[in-house]
Amino acid sequence: EVHLVESGGGLVQPGGSLRLSCEVSGFRITTDWMSWVRQAPGKGLEWVANIKEDESEIYYLNSVKGRFTISKDDTKNSVFLQMTSLRAEDTAVYYCVTSRGFMLEHWGQGTLVTVSS
Amino acid sequence: DIVMTQSPDSLAVALGERATINCKSSQSLLSTSNNQNYLAWHQQKPGQPPRLLFSWASTRESGVPDRFSVSGSGTDFTLTISSLQADDVAIYYCHQHYSSPITFGGGTKVEI
C-alpha cells in the first residue's frame, strides 16, 4: 500500500520561507514522477510542481516559478518543496502526490501552510 | 494551458437517484499515438485528501464501486453515479494529464 506523509507546514509571515517534506512508502520515487498540489481554503485543486524520476524534467506553476523549488532524495524516498518569498495567496493545504507520468495517483493527507502577518 | 470546465458546480440528488457530472477540456485529450484519453477523475470527501477514481478516462481504480461509471472522449467526458449513496457525498474533480501544466476542473459538489 502506498503511503505519503507530508510535514513542514505552518504559519509564516509574508516574504518568509518554508520547506515541505514528503516521505513515501510503498512506492519507489525512482520509478515515476512526483507532484505537489495545493488547495486553498474552500477552493479547488491547483497543481504546483512536479519532478521526473531521474530529475531530467521539472515543471512549475507560473505563479510559483522562481520562488518554489521541488527536489527529491532517492535514498530517503522523499520529495521536498522549498518555498520562498511566500505570499498570502500561497496559503493552502499542500499535498504530495505520486504520479504515473502527469497522472496524479496516490495522495498524502496534506500539510497546511498559512502565510499571514 | 488546457482549461478544464466542469458542470454543474453543485448538484443535490436523492438517495438512489442518478448523478451526472460533466467535464470539458479546451483541447482534445485523446492521444493519436496510443488512442488513450489523458483524463482522470478524483473524489474528495469532506476533510479528506482526493482519491483517484478513474484513470485514462475509463480505467476504474481498485475498490471503486461499479455504480460509478465514466464515458467520453476527446474534449467531453462524463462521470455518472447510477444510484447515489450517502457515502458518495463529495466533490468530484476531473484533471487532464495530457500536458504540463496539469490542470483541474473547478470541481462538482454532490450532495443529498
Confidence band, pLDDT 50/70/90 cuts, at residue A27: very high
What is the pLDDT averaged over residues B86-94? 97
- Helix, strand, coil: what percent of chain B each, to 5? 5, 50, 50
Q: Which residue type sits at A83?
A: M
Q: If you measure CA to CA, which chain B residue comes closest to A57? A: B100
Give the mutation candidate from A43, A58, A102, A111 for the B interface (greatest B CB count, under 10 A): A102
What is the pLDDT averaged over residues A13-33? 96
Chain A hits for B97, CB-CB cut-off 8 Å, are: 99, 101-104
Confidence band, pLDDT 50/70/90 cuts, at residue B42: very high
Is the preceding peptide bond at A14 cis, omega within 30 degrees of 0? no
Chain A hits for B42, CB-CB cut-off 8 Å, are: 45, 104
Confidence band, pLDDT 50/70/90 cuts, at residue B57: confident
Of A37, A44, A109, the CB nearest to B106: A44
What is the pLDDT averaged over residues A61-82? 97
Q: Which of A3, A12, A24, A4 is nearest to A92 (CA)?
A: A12
What are the φ and ψ backbone dihedral angles of B87, each rounded to 5 degrees? -70, -10
Of B44, B52, B91, the CB nearest to A105: B52
pLDDT at B97: 95
pLDDT at B5: 98
Is the preceding peptide bond at B101 cis, omega within 30 degrees of 0? yes
Give the pairing of strands A10-12 and A111-115.
parallel
- Kindly state the percentage of chain A with pLDDT values over 70: 100
Coil, strand, or helix at residue B29? coil
Stated as kind and residue range, the H or E segment containing B7 is strand B4-7
Evaluate if residue B58 carries a pLDDT over 90: no
Minimal Cα–Cα distance from B84 to chain A, Å?
23
The answer to whether B44 touches B53, Cβ cutoff 8 Å, is no
